[in-house]
Amino acid sequence: MKIDREKADFLDEMINHWEREEILAHEKATELKKSYSVKSFDWQKLAQYSIYIALACGVFALGSLLLDQQMAALLSSLYNTPNILISIFSFTLAAYFLFLGNKRRKTKAKQIFSNDALLLAGVLLIANGLAYFGKTIDKNSDNYALLFLAAVPVYGILGYRFKSKLIWAFAL
């Protein structure tokens, strides 16, 4: 039977007390102690759910931000930003996130979800940079097949370099 830590401590204390008072024989006390175990808490599952909740909060925050009138005015002024600048900014930010994610994987290896979130942000920014670079090169075409094809070796090289299954998934 799996029980909480507090209950297990209580049972251990009571069984030890009964054994000292000679109410229980040593063999019976050992048998009783083996009949239960402490259930462990799944911290990794909690971390995973926390990441999902944080992402949902980010989506809600972004939605609230876009509904704000002043922010809408700022975003409309950014709409006229040249595509090449958005592409360069996206690639620069992607490089920063990939560098930071890879560095954290070495220094804080146990923080799997946080490190992968940084790598995911870098991967998505690469996709954004490629899309805007494609718009810069060919303004009249809506055919993004060549951009997707260009992304495959980029993600493949990054997946190999960073040894990341997440980036490999984007390469595939």
Q: Quick: pLDDT tens for 27-51.
A: 888 888 888 888 877 777 888 888 8
Residue-range definition of the domain harbouring residue 91 = 81-171
State the pLDDT confidence band at 92, using cuts at 50, 70 and 90.
very high
Long-range contacts of 117-120 (CB under 8 A, 24+ apart): 117/51, 119/162, 119/164, 119/166, 119/167, 120/166
In the chain, the number of structural domains is 3
Q: Are residues 92 and 143 in the same domain?
A: yes
The contacts of residue 66 (CB under 8 Å, 6+ apart) are 72, 75
Q: Are residues 111 and 60 in the same domain?
A: no
Q: Are residues 159 and 114 in the same domain?
A: yes
Q: Are residues 106 and 154 in the same domain?
A: yes
Q: Are residues 95 and 30 in the same domain?
A: no
- Give the predicted TM-score (pTM) of the model: 0.56
